[in-house]
Amino acid sequence: MKEGQASILRDTVGLAQWVEFVGRSPMQDALPLLAQPEIISFALGLPSPELFPTEALSRACSDVLSGHPQALQYGVPSIALKSHIVSLMRSRGVECNERQIVLTCGAQQAVSLIVALLLDRRREVIAEEMCYPGFRQVVNFYQPEILEVPTDRETGMDVDRVEWLLKTGACPAFIYAIPNGHNPIGVNLSQEKRSKLLEVSRRYNVPIIEEDPYGFLSYEGGSETPLRAVSEDLVFYVGSFSKMIAPSLRLGWLIAPEKVTGYLAILKEASDIDTTTFAQHIVACMLESGFLWPHLRRLRAEYQRRRNVMLAALPGTFPRGSVWSIPRCGFFLWVRLPDEIDTTRLLKIAANEYRVAFMPGMAFCGNRDNKGARSSVRLNFSNPSESLIEEGMLRLGSMFGSHFGVASIGQK
Amino acid sequence: MKEGQASILRDTVGLAQWVEFVGRSPMQDALPLLAQPEIISFALGLPSPELFPTEALSRACSDVLSGHPQALQYGVPSIALKSHIVSLMRSRGVECNERQIVLTCGAQQAVSLIVALLLDRRREVIAEEMCYPGFRQVVNFYQPEILEVPTDRETGMDVDRVEWLLKTGACPAFIYAIPNGHNPIGVNLSQEKRSKLLEVSRRYNVPIIEEDPYGFLSYEGGSETPLRAVSEDLVFYVGSFSKMIAPSLRLGWLIAPEKVTGYLAILKEASDIDTTTFAQHIVACMLESGFLWPHLRRLRAEYQRRRNVMLAALPGTFPRGSVWSIPRCGFFLWVRLPDEIDTTRLLKIAANEYRVAFMPGMAFCGNRDNKGARSSVRLNFSNPSESLIEEGMLRLGSMFGSHFGVASIGQK
């Protein structure tokens, strides 16, 4: 939407000021390209449809509809479900209680409620240069100054830079982080940086929003312990069943200091009254049956296989000089190509001529001059099957072969 | 939450400014009273659980889970469902198209998105003195000046007062109205006032938010035609399946001028990504089967019976001098008692001693000195069965008998 257009609209129907500052995102621009037939897409962050627990879900639907008619009514948040979430979090080293949990319509609503609680219009926030676009969508509404810090592809957010910002007078409403299976970089925040980030948050009394939709999907060794395990009063944790069970249940949660959950409940009620009691009952019923742990083991094994297939294909696919890291959690692989390649333009060639798609780095970046973003791609390995990953990488490889000489071995 | 408390919290964890202005609502205060065992409640606005279409829902769940695995994935809004909504609206005399529809997490989210689109912080809005509390919750976040107009219990919103406000310089972001089955008054806006309201909205170029969750539940003659039928560019219509099928599906819609639906979609995505595709598929499947019209006939017949049982009991229950009107739509009956009765205090006696509950008028009113609200009650007739309505009215009658002399014939 061009600025002129927005002004005209405001004049006609009297819209709020924020619409003047809203533009289409590069991600939205990419969507029509992805909607073409026969495209193999590594672009979006979708779970695998073959791994949806349709049978368990179906059984839970029947049980709930026959045994719990109140699941169709408005209702107070399910204590049974909250108790299951307490146990889930304990398995990750987090001690919390039911009164600290607010059930939400997915992780996105949880972030949106926490931001509404903490952020006044035009305040500062700290986030990464390369950042989940849904977060920018939430905060843009408040027109804040986003103080950006870089992300290292092996160790995560540049916490020294966070410290420097705070030391030199920044006064952000919060620090936003995805410490596990970072979106889009795929990295886990290193242990050393976790400690440092928590220490800095404490020293400057700045809350952290810890978004963790992928935290239960780790591929090597155990899951990383969330920041919330260490800091109960300064970390707002956000979790979700979207990637563990199914996105369309729209069921997530946040864990907040107990003294502010009342405000979050007011915001939640104003937003949409309550989180679907039907989905709450279904998921509580599934968790009660002990379904989740074997299911998570299956997801981890399958997603790890898909990641490995993609990793194995990378050196023969991407041009010499490309670099990437091995994600130990989540849905994404980040590849940085040689600087001269503009991946936003490349996507058009890939989709139109080679029927394969990825998300260009610029979709995650607020600064149009960022060279790293401009020459990078985010690849999703959770949605396509192993054979589609192989075929898609072949297509990418022949594109690079035609447009950049023979595909060469990239450097790890 | 007292002001001092909010200030302390802001100092500790740095909350946004709006929390200073948030207080508990009388409705929230009433909830613990209602949660007591053996209470017959006329207090909340719940549909009847016996009338939930559990079987049709169950069948739709099976069909969707076996036939449409994509219903568990993230997804774009269902065109099939939007087409059904276009037909539903046409049955009410509204011509719209799929591009004007945004699917939402219930009517509440629809109102919340429209308010975010139209309202800048501290602007004015026009609403009724007696008003759905969920609306106040949404706008309070923007700290607007609410320009209040009275509601006549036979003809609805005082539109002359709306005109006067606009004529004398008010510049509201919108006018908020529930023209059918008003919550809490139960009244339908008269035809004459509808025409006047539309004319005034046009003359001063002020949009109307038409909230219509009860519009399909009319009890005598046909449904009233929504305002949206007459004004496509200035009326933002809000509908919901909560009262027609089940609240816990969290499925509603809004109809807006096509040129602004893009902004509403951005707000929606920022709030919670998308409206549960699972529920979208379930409801589309139910509507496809032709289930809705017979179901609506059944709901109307049953709710009309319950309303009639309650109306029949009123004269023998409420003290002399009480007045009410006959609702032709929706879930509520509004009774104004003699001025000396404070219904907020009365609720404690009713719930604690007589095990019967209603919603005191003050729950719907922003002004603590409003005598009409202070001495009124909202009675819900959709949730309790006919026999519970009879028993509950007997309990109310014996309370009035003990506390205000023998129950007397109220005046219609």
Please give the interface size between A and B, counted as residue pairs whose CB atoms are below 8 Å apart.
224
In sequence order, the 6+-apart residues with CB closer than 8 A to the CB of B296 are B216, B217, B244
What residues in A contact B205, CB-CB < 8 Å?
Answer: 14
For residues A330 and A214, is the Cβ–Cβ distance under 8 A? Answer: yes
Distance CA B155, CA B145 (A): 25
Determine, for residues B62 and A58 on separate chains, whether the beta-carbon distance falls below 8 Å. Answer: yes
For residues A206 and A172, is the Cβ–Cβ distance under 8 A? Answer: yes
- CB crowding B310-322: b at 16 or more within 10 Å, else e: bbebbbebbbbbb
Q: What is the pLDDT of residues B27-37, one digit of tens each?
A: 777 777 787 88
φ, ψ (nearest 5 deg) of residue B41: -110, 125
What residues in A contact B9, CB-CB < 8 Å?
Answer: 259-260
- What pLDDT is attached to residue A69? 82
Residue type, A243: K
Residue type, A405: G
Return the DSSP state at B300. Answer: H
B7 touches chain A (CB under 8 A): no
Q: Indicate if the alpha-carbon torsion angle A217, A218, A224, A225 is positive or negative.
A: positive
Residue reference for tokens 């017979």? B294
ipTM: 0.94
Angle between helices B159-167 and B191-203 (to 10 degrees): 10
Interface list for B 106-145 with A (CB within 8 A): 106, 108-109, 112, 116-121, 134, 137-138, 140-141
Residue B25 in this model has a pLDDT that exceeds 60: yes
For residues A268 and A104, is the Cβ–Cβ distance under 8 A? Answer: yes
Return the DSSP state at B229. Answer: G
Residue B111 in this model has a pLDDT that exceeds 70: yes
Determine, for residues A19 and B263 on separate chains, whether the beta-carbon distance falls below 8 Å. Answer: yes
- What pLDDT is attached to residue A220? 85
**Bridge partner residues of A252 (DSSP):** A104, A240
Q: What is the mean pLDDT of residues A26-43?
A: 82
| pTM score of the predicted model | 0.95
Compute the radius of gyration of chain A from its Cα atoms: 22
Tell me which H or E stretch contains A275: none
Q: What is the pLDDT of residues A360-376, one digit of tens each?
A: 999 999 888 999 999 99
What residues in B contact A271, CB-CB < 8 Å?
Answer: 105, 108-109, 112, 271
Residue A24 in this model has a pLDDT that exceeds 70: no
Interface list for A 240-279 with B (CB within 8 A): 242, 246-250, 257, 259-260, 262-263, 266-267, 269-279
- The token duo for A227 is 């920041």
Q: What is the pLDDT of residues B28-61, one digit of tens each?
A: 777 777 878 899 999 999 999 999 999 999 999 9
Return the DSSP state at B218. Answer: B
**Bridge partner residues of B124 (DSSP):** B145, B172
Determine, for residues A58 and B57 on separate chains, whether the beta-carbon distance falls below 8 Å. Answer: no
* C-alpha distance from residue B342 to each of A50, B352, B374 (Å): 60, 16, 5
For residues B397 and B312, is the Cβ–Cβ distance under 8 A? Answer: no
Q: What is the mean pLDDT of residues A12-41?
A: 79
B375 to chain A nearest CA, in Å? 27
* Residue of B236, B273, B280, B295 to mutate for A, most A C-beta atoms under 10 A: B273
Transcribe A339-359 into DSSP letters.
TT--HHHHHHHHHHHH-EE-E
Distance CA A74, CA B250 (A): 9
Transcribe B5-20 into DSSP letters.
HHHHHHHHH---GGGG
- Would you call A158 exposed, middle or buried from its count of C-beta atoms within 10 A (0-12, 13-18, 19+)? middle
In sequence order, the 6+-apart residues with CB closer than 8 A to the CB of B149 are B126, B127, B128, B129, B157, B158, B159, B161, B162, B165
Distance CA A356, CA A346 (A): 11
Distance CA A218, CA A383 (A): 16
For residues B282 and B298, is the Cβ–Cβ distance under 8 A? Answer: no
Q: What is the pLDDT of residues B143-202, one digit of tens each?
A: 999 999 999 999 999 999 999 999 999 999 999 999 999 999 999 999 999 999 999 999
Distance CA B121, CA B125 (A): 11
Distance CA A356, CA A12 (A): 42
Q: What is the pLDDT of residues B395-411, one digit of tens each?
A: 999 999 998 764 444 44
Q: What is the pLDDT of residues B50-90, one digit of tens each?
A: 999 999 999 999 999 999 888 999 988 999 999 999 999 99
The number of beta carbons lying within 10 Å of the beta carbon of residue B385 is 16
For residues B205 and B288, is the Cβ–Cβ distance under 8 A? Answer: no
Mean pLDDT of chain A: 92
Task: Tell how many helices (H) and how many strands (E) occur in chain B.
Answer: 14, 15
Determine, for residues B58 and A46 on separate chains, whether the beta-carbon distance falls below 8 Å. Answer: no
Distance CA B96, CA B94 (A): 6
